Structure formats: structure tokens, C-alpha cells
Structure 1
Amino acid sequence: MTQRQPYSVLVVIYNQSHEFLLLQRSDDPLFWQSVTGGIDQGETPLQTAYRELKEETGIDAKALGLEIVAHDHVNHYEIRPEWRHRYSANDYINTEYVFSIQVPNATLVTLNPNEHLNYCWLDAQQALDKVWSASNRDEIAALAQLFQPS
């Protein structure tokens, strides 16, 4: 097995009703998250975001004419101990590039059964209560703030 590089993407998906899509991991059913995935050799973070979105949800943003938006920051977090075997021995911190995308309300979601068991669309508070990782929670909260009337 090829060792993963400690670089990944987070793609927060929300619809026109400002509901967030969360995915239930198959390797840890208590872990709900937005789309995430490792950056492959020679791939840019944005390319990874489009690829992972399609692989994990079946949503082909390019074919639908939708744009994934890059956020102006990255997250750094400790790699979960149970996942460290996927990385080189000295890799303990992951760098996560953050993106988001708005999709139409009726967008079809087709899960990759090797990665996810289930999905749900939740309002911001429900998503904040359900999502596992702090970085994912922070990004949902930041987007939810944009939806608030001024």
C-alpha cells in the first residue's frame, strides 16, 4: 500500500435551502463528515476537491456547471492514531485545504459504499451537532454565518 501524504481537502456541500450534506463513514459509523480526501501526487488541492466530490457523492460539479469555491485558509490537525498507519512514520500533522460548493436542492447523491454508509441533509445547527471533526464544524459554522440576514 502506498503511504498517503499528509495533505487533504475538505469540501463542505450545502444546498439552496442552506442544508449541509453529511456522510457517515463506513470505517467508523459514529463519524459523520463532509467530503474529505487525500491529495494525490501531481494533483492540486482544487483538482482533488472535484475528484473527491465526484468519488464520494457522485456529484460531478463540472458536468453540472457548478463551481467549487476555495476558502482563504487551511487547517492543520493531528492525524487520528488509528489512521497513522496510512502515512509515513514521521507524519503526525495533516494540512487540510478547505472548499465549499452550493448544489441545487434536488441534487442526486450516490455514495461510494467503500467509503460511506449513509448521508443526510441537515440545517446548520443539526450539522454542527452531528459532524465529528472540529475543522469540519468550524467550516460549517462559518458558512452558516454567511446565510444570516444582515
Structure 2
Amino acid sequence: MTRVKESIECWIFNRVTQKVLLLHVPISKDSSVPFWQPITGGIEKNESPLKACSREVVEETGLIINEQDLIGWQGAIRINTPTLNIKKSLFLGIINDSEVIISEEHDEYKWVSPKNISSSLYWDSNRETWEKIQTLIQSEYM
């Protein structure tokens, strides 16, 4: 049976330093390899993707971000596997601060130059979404 999951992915761009935030996921029961990723998380029942994104940003980084500073990508990204179908809403968060307090699901974070993001990522799906977000950052903020 195939599970269906709705989630968000949020890339945080610091307008001042011109860097992007990545979070490190250590080896765990859910992952046999450690990896770097943007903010990700599930959408709860009766929660909009925008509200889920705001909640996940605070939960995973301690950053308070105004909803008007979250730019949603038009349309959803779909990832389909034999056992899981994910509908992912994609966001870019624009901030001026770099003080991050990571959650227990991560063991470190780093601010990375946009040119070095792709080489830091483990998952192809993150590289694909980064391509979309990178275009938006370059056209609007660099």
C-alpha cells in the first residue's frame, strides 16, 4: 500500500550574508546516512502549507519569520516511490539574521554560499528543488 504525505521544504536565504542555511541530519532510525538539507516537515491536519512552513522554520531553527517573508513556489513538487507519494510545497524564506537554534532532529547547521549548495546535498530531490529556489534568489536578491 502506498502512503500519501504532504510536506513543506523551506530554503532560508540570508539577505545580509548572501548565504543559504543547511541543516545536518545525523544517522538515525530514519536514515542510514548523515546528510545536509533545507528545512523540511510534514503538514498537519487542517494546516495550510504556509502555516506548516512557518511552524517548521521555528521548530527546526528557532528563527521567527514573517509569513510575508516566505515566498511560495507555484505548484507542488511530487515525489513518487513504490511505498510513498509526497506532495511537497516549496518555499524560500528571506531573513537578515543568522542566529540559529537547531532542533533535536539535527546535530549542526551551516550557512553556505549558493554556488556550493548542490555539492553539499545528498538527495536528488533536494538538488532539484534547489535549482528552482536558486533561480528565484538570483533574480530577486543577488
Pick aligned residue for 2:74 from 42, 58, 72: 72
Unaligned runs of 5+ in 2: none
**Per the alignment, in what secondary structure is the counterpart of residue 107 of structure 2?**
strand
> How far apart are residue 19 of structure 1 and its match?
1.2
Superposition TM-score, scaled by structure 2 size: 0.81
Pick aligned residue for 2:64 from 60, 63, 69: 60
Q: 1:11 to 1:135 in 2, by over 3 A?
A: same
Q: What is the match of residue 99 of structure 1? A: 91
**Per the alignment, in what secondary structure is the counterpart of residue 73 of structure 1?**
coil
**Per the alignment, in what secondary structure is the counterpart of residue 76 of structure 2?**
strand
CA offsets per residue over residues 5-57 of structure 1, 9 Å max, x none?
A: 51100001111133110000133462110000000011011100000000000
Which of structure 1's runs of 4+ aligned residues deviate more than 6 A?
none
CA distance in 1, matches of 2:133, 2:18: 9
Superposition TM-score, scaled by structure 1 size: 0.77
Amino acid of the structure 1 residue aligned with 2:10: V
C-alpha RMSD of the superposition:
2.5
Given that 2:10 and 2:53 are in contact with CA atoms closer than 8 Å, whether structure 1 keeps it comes out as yes
Q: What are the residue-to-residue correspondences of 1:81-120 with 2, within 5 Å?
A: 92-104=84-96, 106-113=97-104, 115-120=105-110
Amino acid of the structure 1 residue aligned with 2:121: V
Amino acid of the structure 2 residue aligned with 1:112: S
Amino acid of the structure 2 residue aligned with 1:25: V
CA distance in 2, matches of 1:120, 1:78: 29
| Identity over aligned pairs, percent | 25
Q: Would you say 1:127 and 2:117 are equivalent positions? A: yes
